[in-house]
Amino acid sequence: MPRPRRSGPRCRAGTAFAIGDIEATIISDGLLDLGSANAQFPAAPPEDIARIMAEEFLPVDPMMLEQNALVLNINQRVVLFDSGMGSDQLFGDKAGRLIRNLAAAGIAPEQVDDIVLTHAHCDHCWGMVGDGGALNFPNAQVHISQADFEFWTDEAKLSAEGFLPTFVKGARRNLMPYRDRMLFVTDGQEVLPGVTAISTPGHTMGHMSYAISSGNESFLNVGDVVHHTALLFQNPTWEFAFDSDPKLAAQTRVRLFDMASADETRMIGYHFPFPGLGHIRREGDAFDYVPIPMTHG
């Protein structure tokens, strides 16, 4: 006889969990292949990178990052944080799985009422428009900071050096079709009931984190304030190759780590090991990442 299935949002198997009255689920967009960690942290001592990765039983090359998209059900309103990489294989062929994994969790793209973006990099907003140009989330309102929207859709950057033109082209393709249903998020604003934007600039100039609270429970969705848990928790001032302002990104990271370690903040990290829920613990001048075990029921 099958065991009776306990019902309710707290008891769904897999990555579902509750934040007070808010039902939360983490949906993976798959993995990003960033190549060598030495290239992503160009100013960091290669011997330190090699030692830390060995301690974590991880290769230096390729450095892989998860992509954990948070989905909330707030009073029957379906809210998706970041949209994944889409079909582009700029960072390998293991990304772009969000729509498929949403379906596996019983969530159709048409059901998504809001997309809340932390920032406008490829792995966060290139999943919004399909290959044929149709909207992947035809009923969604989009929330993003004005600074990030304007920076990453700026046509003048299409002739810039480095990765900027590729990123701007992709952001324009994925964001402009939603322009008439876009709301700009500001620091401290309650974007949706229980969801408050917190400005965390540096990785991009308009980068936003989001505090989610209901009843006595809360999580902080940190976005890309921190990417690699093994490297950056131990070395929060290391500069990441894709930071718009690496010094400001490091300051923001240290500020957030100080606050989150003191307050025992429960964090959700887009690039943390799946499903990306964890605490931060102070270890002298450095920090340590402590995953929250996923429990069922």
List residues binding Zn ion (CB under 5 A).
123, 224
Of 238, 260, 268, 233, residue with least CA distance to 250 = 238
The least CB distance from residue 208 to Zn ion, in Å, is: 13
The least CB distance from residue 66 to Zn ion, in Å, is: 10
**What CA–CA distance (Å, rounded) separates 97 from 67?**
10
How many Cβ atoms sit within 10 Å of the Cβ of residue 217?
16
Pair of tokens at residue 12: 């769904």
Task: Give whichever of 23 and 224 is closer to Zn ion, judged by the CB atom.
Answer: 224
The least CB distance from residue 281 to Zn ion, in Å, is: 23
The least CB distance from residue 216 to Zn ion, in Å, is: 30
Task: Give whichever of 178 and 272 is closer to Zn ion, judged by the CB atom.
Answer: 272
The least CB distance from residue 145 to Zn ion, in Å, is: 15
Do residues 271 and 228 lie in contact, with contact meaning Cβ atoms separated by under 8 Å? yes
- Beta pairing class for 77-81 and 64-74: antiparallel
Of 169, 255, 172, 264, residue with least CA distance to 218 = 264
Task: Give whichever of 114 and 123 is closer to Zn ion, judged by the CB atom.
Answer: 123
Q: H/E element holding 74?
A: strand 64-74
Task: Give whichever of 123 and 148 is closer to Zn ion, judged by the CB atom.
Answer: 123
The sheet carrying 217-223 orders its strands as: 190-192, 195-199, 208-214, 217-223, 267-269, 277-283, 286-291
Task: Give whichever of 66 and 114 is closer to Zn ion, judged by the CB atom.
Answer: 66
